[in-house]
Amino acid sequence: LGCCTPASVVTDGGGGGGAAAEERSLFVVRVVQIAVMCVLALTVVFGIFFLGCNLLIKSEGMINFLAKDRRPSKEVEAVVVGPY
């Protein structure tokens, strides 16, 4: 049963070389994890930014559309301007 434990699978490179290799692999794993998290964070930040810009543009379009609807018609202007 002792032959199948993870400790028995790791072989020492003679004189502590295995510990340095294991430490280096842990460092590489940490660097990869940090890089992936940075990419994901940037993706979320830019996604929120572009979504906000898109909503801002759409809201400006809606405001302009409503402003056009709220302007008095030309017929009303003709009636108001007529008596003067």
Q: Does 64 reside within a domain?
A: yes
The 10s digit of each residue's pLDDT in 28-61 is: 999 999 999 999 999 999 999 999 888 888 888 8
Give the global pTM.
0.48
* Domain annotation covers residue 47: yes
Instruction: Quote the number of domains for the chain.
Output: 1
Least trusted range by pLDDT, from 15-19, 32-36, 46-50, 69-73 = 69-73
Does 24 map to a domain? no
Q: What domain range is 47 assigned to?
A: 42-69
Joined tokens for residue 20 = 């340095």
Beta strands in 1-84 (DSSP E): none
Q: Is residue 55 part of a domain?
A: yes
What is the token pair recorded at 45?
């930040």
Residue 79 is encoded by which pair of tokens?
A: 């009636």
CB 36 within 8 A of CB 43: no
